[in-house]
Chain A
Amino acid sequence: MSALQQSHRISRDPTKQSDQSASLDLDDIQHFLMSRPPARAARYEFLAFKTGSEGRAWLTGLIDKVGTASVVGSSLLDARWVTVGFTWNGLQMLGVDDASLATFPEEFRQGMAARAGVLGTTGANHPDHWVGGLASPNLHAIVVLFARDVAERERCRQEHANYLKQRDGVKLLSALDLEAIPPFDYAHEHFGYRDRLSQPVIEGTGVEPTPGSGPPIKPGEFFLGYPDEEGPAAGLPQPETLSRNGSYVAYLRMEEHVGAFRDFLRAHGETPEQQELIAAKLMGRWRSGAPLVLAPDKDDPKLGADSQRNNDFNYAKMDPHGYGCPLGAHIRRMNPRDTAVNMNRRKMIRRGGTYGPPLPEGVPDDGTERGIAAFVGCASLVRQFEFAMNVWANDPNFHELGNERDPIFGTQDGTFDMTIPKRPIRKKIKGLPAFTTIRAGAYFFLPGIRALRYLASLSDGL
């Protein structure tokens, strides 16, 4: 989930696309969950509307800048990619009427902060401590800007600032700047793990899943108005003009405590090799990306970098007891593969990047905030994102582990453990510290382009 270096393009070759793709409305879907532009910098702006008319006027001027799934990736000359989303309060502010607002799902209406109990974001992760005004009902919209480089990001920042100067009634609540961390030749985050190795492929996009990634997932799992893994689209928010081609995203700003993470590795491993192994056990992959199921004893950087091999594994058959990848490791929780049922209904598309300066190796933590600011995209927050948080990340008894949570980003307060199965006797690390803290979060709806025009055309209540 570090910033975006790898381009991820949708095939334009019509012979490669299945029938379903004919119906994927690429001109209307925002590119965000569909394609990953080659960006090294980003900026998220969180906005509040003083009035509906000001919000609509602002949106009207922005619609043409929003990148669609058909445009993004089609030109190598592009330098910036824009996405817009709204909270439920934001939709209300823009003039969506009560009857229509009531057709949005409960969890989206409540917003992420109100769902803290469900998500398990308690203690230091609780919305009371969130920054940037994101837990406030005044959060109405987000603009996500991905830029080819920092210079382009700065140009766009200025342009939007100038635009906002003309729009008195639209206030910048807060913003976050993101940059990829060097080396830029592969995606990785502040702890040093290679990222973006496993992701769902959407049916009809012509993208070929890498070995082990399973078949393409029905588009209705990510975009409203399409068949999903259970059948035809149903229960869409009304009117359909507003919901069709839209998606939900859960935003999380997660600080990474790099100093604490490195101290932990040193405390539990005497040699650099042992420390690498501990890091791998927490994640389920070596920092090189090599999966523990395929490389249980020794790192294999070539395997980690080889997309034809690095996702080609399962758990039930290849590592049922977790001697390679512990049952509670991050990737084994976030995608239990063949050890869970209905997995195709729990898929998530991850987007986002790293923020804050990297902490050089061998240097004590400087107290600067650094981490990952990420989006989880789906068609149902309660079934996909909230399930992952509630059951996979924060249920202490997941996989009958008894007293454990996700070691990377579960809510940790020193009272949970991590079991590392090993013959003859398993190792248990008691009182895992928190390596991450959730500093902000929100639920957004990313409407399709027609829906954006519909929103811009509304008027204030009758």
Chain B
Amino acid sequence: MATVAPATPSTPKERDWTKPQAMAIPKEGYFKLQDGRYGPVYPRTPACYGFTLIAKIKPGREDAIRAYGKTIEKAIADLPEALATLKLHYLRWVLFDIGKDTYFMYQGIFDTDFDKYTEDAVALFTKLGVNTTFENLEGFPEDWKTNVPAFVKFVREHQCPSFLEYGEYPFVTADEIKKALKLKAAFADMLDLMQ
């Protein structure tokens, strides 16, 4: 177990988006222990920052969780900017069975270190009802609305760090992608105008 952690390869110079990159990550989930406000900080990889939470659901709650898919779909349709603060790329919600138990997997990929905006995320999740879904998970703190540290502890205890992450266009942020697409659209418009 006691392997020497290699230096993180993600120095800015190597952040070349034209060169696909893979990164193997030590078992702890980080290369060098770096204190965040709520615990160790996980590194940025070619696939950005991210988390993978896996938790067992309370028996009989599968339908309730599935139903929240629709709730959140509508929330975002009504307010597309709702999650902007989190600088997300993607969220994935998955339910799967192991034996008789059902598990919930929540995977998020984003551009800011989660530790930094933890309270903002909790506030947002509360507003959107994401946490209400979490109430269907075993061990989720009942006082999560007012107890950020307990919420964070639950998240950290259920976080399964990746041991490999890959990026086809490594380290590119969602903002950069959106800017590039905007530029492309502007160019297309310009070419149209020049016809």
A160 to B163, CA, bound (A): 60
List, in ascending order, chain B residues with CB within 8 A of A234's CB: 143, 145-147
Once bound together, how far apart are the Cα atoms of A383 and B36, in whole Å?
12
B35 close to A341 (CB less than 8 A):
no
Question: B116 and A118: CB pair below 8 A?
Answer: no
The distance from the CB of A441 to the nearest CB of chain B, in whole angstroms, is 16
Whether A383 contacts B116 in the complex (CB less than 8 A), given A117-B35, A234-B143, A235-B147, comes out as no
Given contact pairs A342-B119, A391-B116, A395-B116, A235 touches B37 in the complex (Cβ within 8 A): no
B146 contacts A387, C-beta separation under 8 Å:
no
CB atoms of B123 and A235 under 8 A apart: no
B34 at the interface (CB under 8 A from A): yes
Given contacts A387-B37, A390-B36, A390-B116, contact A106 B85 (CB under 8 A): no
Q: Roughly how many angstroms separate A389 CA and B105 CA in the complex, as a whole number?
A: 33
Q: Is the CB of B116 within 8 A of A230?
A: no
What is the 8 Å Cβ interface bit string for chain A, positions 234-266, against chain B (1 contact, 0 not)?
A: 110000000000000000000000000000000
Distance, CA A162 to CA B38, complexed state (A): 44
A230/B149 in contact, CB under 8 A: no
Give CA–CA (A433, B116) in the complex, Å: 26
Please judge, given known A-B contacts A235-B146, A395-B116, whether A230 and B123 are in contact too, CB under 8 Å.
yes
Q: How far is the CA of A368 from the CA of B119 in the complex (A)?
A: 41
Chain B nearest CB: distance from A90 CB in Å? 22
A386: Cβ under 8 A from any B Cβ: yes
Q: Identify A390's interface contact among B37, B85, B146, CB under 8 A.
A: B37
Q: What residues on B are CB-neighbors of A9 within 8 Å?
A: none
In the complex formed, the residue of A with least CB distance to B35 is A117
B149 CB contacts on chain A under 8 angstroms: 105-106, 382
Interface size on A, residues (CB 8 A): 23
When distances are taken between beta carbons in the complex, the residues of chain B under 8 Å from A341 are 85, 120
Task: Write out the residue numbers on chain B whose beta carbons fall within 8 Å of the beta carbon of A360.
Answer: none
Query: Which residues on the A side are within 8 Å of B35 (C-beta)?
Result: 115, 117-118
Give 1 or 0 for each of B130-146: 1 = CB within 8 Å of chain A CB. 00000000000001011
> Is residue A309 contacting chain B, with contact meaning CB distance below 8 A?
no
Residue A231 lies at the interface, judged by CB distance under 8 Å to chain B: yes
Contact, CB under 8 Å: A235 / B143: yes
Query: Quick check: is A196 within 8 A (CB to CB) of the other chain?
Result: no
* Shortest Cβ distance from residue B173 to the other chain A in the assembled complex, whole angstroms: 8
Does residue B23 face the partner (Cβ distance < 8 Å to A)? no
Which residues of B from 100 to 127 have beta carbons under 8 Å from A?
116, 119-120, 123
Residue numbers in A under 8 Å from B38 (CB-CB): 382
Q: Is B155 an interface residue (CB 8 A)?
A: no
- B172 interface hit (Cβ, 8 Å): no
Taken together as a complex, chains A and B put the C-alpha atoms of A386 and B116 apart, in Å, by 10
Chain B residue at minimal CB-CB distance from A391: B116
Query: Which B residues lie within 8 Å of A235 (CB)?
Result: 143, 146-147
- Assess whether A171 is interfacial by the CB under 8 Å rule: no
Contact A383-B119, Cβ < 8 Å, known A118-B36, A341-B85? yes
A 381-407 contacts with B by CB, 8 A: 382-383, 386-387, 390-391, 395, 400, 402
Residue of A nearest to B44 (CB): A397
Contact pick for A386, options B34, B37, B143, CB 8 Å: B37
**Is B148 among interface residues, defined by CB-CB distance under 8 A?**
yes
How far is it, in angstroms, between the C-alpha of A402 and the C-alpha of B15 when the chains are bound? Answer: 13
A345 near B: Cβ within 8 Å?
yes
| With known contacts A342-B119, A345-B119, A395-B116, A382–B147 Cβ distance under 8 A | no
Chain A residues lying within 8 Å of B85, measured Cβ to Cβ, are 341
Chain A min CB distance to B179 (Å): 11
Chain B residues positioned under 8 Å from A230 (CB to CB): 123, 146
A382-B120 CB under 8 A given contacts A106-B149, A235-B143: no
The CA of A153 and the CA of B116, in the complex, are separated in Å by 42
List chain B residues, Cβ under 8 A from A117.
Answer: 34-35
Inter-subunit contact B37/A118 (CB<8 Å): yes
Contacts of A382 in B (CB 8 A): 37-38, 149
* Minimum CB distance partner of A395 in chain B: B116
How far apart sit A192 and B145, CA to CA, in the bound complex (Å)? 44
When C-beta atoms are compared, the residue in chain A nearest to B116 turns out to be A391
Q: Kindly supply a per-residue 1/0 record for chain B positions 34-49, scoring 1 wherever the CB is within 8 Å of any chain A CB and 0 otherwise.
A: 1111100000000000
Closest B residue, CB atoms, query A382: B37
Instruction: Return A31 CB to nearest CB of chain B, in Å.
Output: 28
Q: Which parts of A331-363 form the interface with B (CB within 8 Å)? A: 341-342, 345
CB <8 Å contact, A342 and B37 = no
Q: Which residues of A contact B120 (CB under 8 A)?
A: 341-342
Tell me the complex Cα distance, A230–B146, Å: 8
Chain B 145-192 residues near chain A, CB threshold 8 A: 145-149, 175
Q: How far is the CB of B86 from chain A (nearest CB, A)?
A: 10
Query: What is the distance, in angstroms, from A108's C-beta to the closest C-beta of chain B?
Result: 12
Tell me which of B143, B148, B175 has the highest count of chain A C-beta atoms within 10 A of its own C-beta. Answer: B148
> 1/0 per residue A92-132: CB within 8 Å of B?
00000000000001110000000101100000000000000
> In the complex, what residue of chain B is closest to A386 when comparing beta carbons?
B37
Q: Which residues of B contact A115 (CB under 8 A)?
A: 35
- In angstroms, Cα B116 to Cα A368, docked, is 37
Per-residue interface assignment for chain B, residues 51 to 73, with 1 indicating a CB less than 8 Å from any chain A CB and 0 otherwise: 00000000000000000000000
Binary B-proximity of A256-292 (CB < 8 A = 1, otherwise 0): 0000000000000000000000000000000000000
Contacts of B12 in A (CB 8 A): 402
Docked Cα-Cα span, A449 to B145, in Å, equals 30
Whether the Cβ atoms of A342 and B34 lie closer than 8 Å is no
List 10 additional contacts besides A234-B146, A382-B37; criterion CB under 8 Å.
A230-B123, A234-B143, A234-B147, A235-B147, A341-B120, A342-B120, A345-B123, A382-B38, A387-B37, A390-B116
A-B contact list, 13 entries, CB within 8 Å: A106-B149, A115-B35, A117-B35, A118-B36, A118-B37, A230-B123, A231-B146, A234-B143, A235-B143, A345-B119, A382-B37, A383-B119, A387-B116
10 smallest CB-CB distances across A and B, nearest first, come from A234-B146, A117-B35, A341-B85, A391-B116, A118-B35, A382-B37, A386-B37, A235-B147, A118-B37, A342-B120
